[in-house]
Structure 1
Amino acid sequence: MTGTSTLPKAAAKPSSLYTNAKASALFDVESGRILYSNNGDTAMGIASLTKIMTAIVAIEHGKLTDMVKTSKRAVGKEGSSIYLQLGEEMSLSNMLYGLMLRSGNDAATAIAEHVGGSEEGFVHLMNEKAAFIGLTHSKFQNPHGLDQAEHYSSANDLARLTAYALKNEVFAEIVSTKVKKVPNPHEKWEYSYTNKNKMLTMYDGADGVKTGYTKKTLRCLVSSATRQGQQLAAVTINDSDDWADHRKMLDWGFNNYPLQEIAAKGQAIAGYPYIIGRTFKYPVAEQETESIQSRLVLLNTDSIHYLLGERGMLEWYMNNDKMGASPVYDQASSRLQLPETSRKTLQTLTDFRKAEKLNQDGDSAWYQSFSKVLDMLFEI
């Protein structure tokens, strides 16, 4: 059974946006919605923006307290460096700071060899993760981003990758750090890694993400900022004026696509004896409200979800594209008293389910049972 409704109409189309980049994208991190894109699906070299993928793969596959030993291959890596010495050991956590704050190519190689068993093995994990996230215009050949044939991504893919990575609290903490002190095994003084991302000090609310440059790709940048509970991130590839462009892009996004509460937890649904079970927010431009519709989809009374108290889903669409959904319950349901599950938690659970499905070792009955439990508890 379904029902539909629309929000009140509005006007005012957002002003146009221009950057100096060959490719660019602006997106809302929470929803993953791309708010602006120019040549967004064009595959291009991305320099050290590659390290966004390196970091999230290392965080997910490695152990942060492990000591990473620097090999000859890592020490000899060209380009930006944190000046690791042959045989030097550093925790994976601290090496990730060197990777993301100072863009150390030696750190990237050492991390790859440690986590992946070899640089080639780690690159395989990078491409597996790209497929998992749904990056359709990306291919990785190395963990550092030095120019190499068939190593590329796109502005839109980098937006999707960054939205995924920023939901990881370890990643978010690292890329928002301005200065990191790290133990030095050779001297009494500590290493001090100052973040190359100038946006952290020049833009109000800035909290990430990564710079990049090679002579071939030129300047590349992904930046993020949070204001009034909304986190936006901008991507530019080959941009001669990226600091100014990112300030402009983020301002444009916050001004024109504020995060709006589409539905509130506990809100009654007109014409039905149900209430909304989870708050739903989405970045919406003023004139887009006329395109938003809701659709109530009710469950069969003999379904597992129904027996657990859920009565259906209130789905939200914009121009027939699904934005998201919230579960609905009876007005007196005790399910409403349960705390809302954060999107980060849902993402983690969803990822776990996908990983388990991809790596089942024959115990499909266990997986199916566990999957049903997650469905019941979190409406994934």
Structure 2
Amino acid sequence: MKRYRKLLFVAIILILLSSHNSYCEPIELNAKSSILMEVNTGRILFSYNPHIKLPMASTTKIMTALIAIEYGNLDDIVTIKKNSVGIEGSSIYLKEGETLTLRDLLYGLMLRSGNDAAMAIAEHIGGTVDNFVKLMNEKAKELGAINTNFTNPHGLHDANHYTTAYDLALITREALKKKEFRDIVKSKLWIADRDINKYFYNKNKTLWQYEGGDGVKTGYTKRAGRCLVSSATKNGMQLIAIVLDDYSWFNDCYKLLDYGFSLFKPKVVFNKGQFIKNVEVINGNKEKIPIVTNKELIIPMKDSEIENIKVKIELPEKIYAPIEKNQKVGKIRIYLNGKLFAVNDLVTKYRIEEKSIFVKITDYLRKILNN
């Protein structure tokens, strides 16, 4: 009996050690708010106070860059106005009358966190800073970032300028869909086409310190504290880690990324064009048509979650010809851990033409004769 208890005690110790190595215990962070999101699906892998409103400092510039990329041409020549010169805080030292491309300004915005670059971009894209801020707020609401409000394009403190970790993740995820944005935030150095102050070194140490690090933005003011949006890609999966008001900002983002990459792996639920079932065709030159998925679905999951995937197929019993290729005819709903996770379209594999009048009459007569 004593030997059994001893073996049991050893087993418990081994389990606890194993749990520590695989991040099964809660993550201890210093942030007021934090979140870990997978980019492809938007699945939240970890969160702490994700919906409390906080100042965001220069992580504001993620939205500034997103709006500039959506509304502007990166090869546009921008003439710097007086309003964009001498802005407090981080700067790329713009001069009134100087000309730069919008591309150079975006690199100065995201790598050097230039507040003057933010103002120049806002005036160029919006005509006025107020109009640009309006575009920022409209985009936030469009993305579902309903607890966010922008009053400026740079992030200097304003009582009505705030976001949440969750909202900031939504904004960052949207921005990372843009190739131009991805290229900018993963760059360690950019050399602008100007005579002085042309070397823009990235302030985001994630690119150097974390394996697979590829973004995104630092931020700091006395009121906001240290804010960081980090991203990294490993094993075909990109994660966004966000901490707001966190003195250990980089280390805590790395903890979140380690947690995500350690515990979650991308699992293929179904591939694009995967066969689901055959459906009967009425008045077509073929009796049945294969129904397939319109795109692939890959979900980041723990190994233990695979058995918790449930699939619901919604298809009609019959489809009337004519039928076009890739015609939407149904839905496939994916449930994870009892909650609806994704809804994708089911489509026809190929085209089916309607029977001619002659064939319809012939079929009708044949049925009469058979009866």
TM-score (norm 1): 0.79
Cα distance, 1:79 vs structure 2: 0.4
Where do residues 1-380 of structure 1 align in structure 2 (5 Å cutoff)?
14-184=24-194, 187=195, 191-269=198-276, 274-299=291-316, 301=318, 307-310=324-327, 311-328=329-346, 333-334=349-350
Q: Deviations over 1:50-70 (max 9, x none)?
A: 000000001111121111122
The match for 1:363 is none
Find the aligned partners of 2:117 and 2:57 in 1 and give their Cα distance: 15
Pick closer, same or farther for the CA change 1:83–1:135 going to 2, 3 Å. Answer: same
Report the Cα distance in structure 2 between the residues aligned to 1:138 and 1:304, rounded to whole angstroms: 48
Give a deviation string over 1:289-338, Cα, whole Å, max 9, x none: 233210011047458996445553322112443222444456xx348xxx
2:340 partner letter: K
Q: Quick one: distance in 1 between partners of 2:220 and 2:250?
A: 14
Q: Say whether the 8 Å CA contact 2:78–2:102 is kept in structure 1.
A: yes
SS at match of 1:107: helix
Q: Which runs of 5+ in 2 are unaligned?
A: 1-21, 280-289, 352-371
* Structure 1 residues 217 and 308, CA gap change in structure 2 (3 angstroms): same
CA contact (8 A) 2:23 2:259 kept: no
Greater displacement, 285-294 / 307-316:
307-316
**Alignment size in residue pairs:** 320
Corresponding residue SS for 1:94:
helix
User: Relative to structure 1, is the Cα distance of residues 196 and 309 closer, same or farther in structure 2, using a 3 angstrom cutoff?
Assistant: closer
Deviation at 1:277, TM superposition (A): 4.4
User: Is the contact made by 1:22 and 1:237 (CA closer than 8 Å) also made in structure 2?
Assistant: yes
Residues of 2 paired with 1:77 and 1:101: CA distance?
A: 17
State TM-score, norm by structure 2. Answer: 0.80
- 8 Å contact kept, 1:279–1:326: no
Shift of 1:201: 0.6
Q: Which amino acid aligns with 1:287?
A: S
SS of residue matched to 2:335: strand
Percent identity, please: 44
Given that residues 14 and 285 in structure 1 are in contact (C-alpha distance below 8 angstroms), is that contact kept between their aligned partners in structure 2?
no
- Check conservation: 2:93, 2:197, Cα contact below 8 A: no
Q: Which runs of 4+ in 1 moved over 3 A?
A: 12-15, 265-277, 299-311, 325-330
Q: Report the Cα offset of residue 275 of structure 1.
A: 4.5
Paired with 1:107 and 1:120, the residues of 2 have a C-alpha distance of 16
Cα distance in 1, alignment partners of residues 244 and 123 from structure 2: 28
> Secondary structure in 2 aligned to 1:171?
helix
| CA distance in structure 2 between the partners assigned to 1:44 and 1:290 by the alignment | 38
2:285 corresponds to = none
Deviations 1:116-150 (A, max 9, x none): 11111110110011111110110000000000111
User: Gaps spanning 5+ residues in structure 1: where?
Assistant: 1-11, 336-380
Q: Report the equivalent of 2:4.
A: none
1:193-251 deviation per Cα after TM superposition (whole angstroms, max 9, x unaligned) = 00000000111111100000001111100010111111001000011111111111101
- Structure 2 Cα separation of the partners of residues 201 and 305 of structure 1: 57
After superposition, the Cα gap between the structure-2 partners of 1:190 and 1:103, relative to the gap in structure 1 and judged at 3 Å, is: closer
Residue 271 of structure 1, CA deviation: 9.8
